[in-house]
Amino acid sequence: VFDDEEFECRTPEEWLQLGYEERSNVRKPIPGKALLPKDDKLGHGKEQQK
């Protein structure tokens, strides 16, 4: 999902093209970073912390 197109430096097609190695039709993962909260106020994962 490309949520804010005003701040994107590439089009969705350009991002997906980054997943292909040169002269290959094999798609590889695209490296990225995510901002994760320190605590989960919604309670996700509590069932795993038993």
- Write the pLDDT tens digit of every residue in 9-38: 888 888 888 888 888 888 888 877 877 777
Bigger pLDDT: 35 vs 44: 35
- Is 41 domain-assigned? no
**pLDDT value of position 45:** 61
**For residue 43, pLDDT beyond 70:** no
- Is 22 domain-assigned? yes
**For residue 50, pLDDT beyond 70:** no
Distance of CA 35 to the CA centre of its chain: 10
Number of domains in the chain: 1
Element (H, E) at 15: helix 12-17
- Is 12 domain-assigned? yes
Domain that holds residue 1: 1-30
- Is 38 domain-assigned? no
Q: Confidence class of residue 40 from pLDDT cuts 50, 70 and 90?
A: low
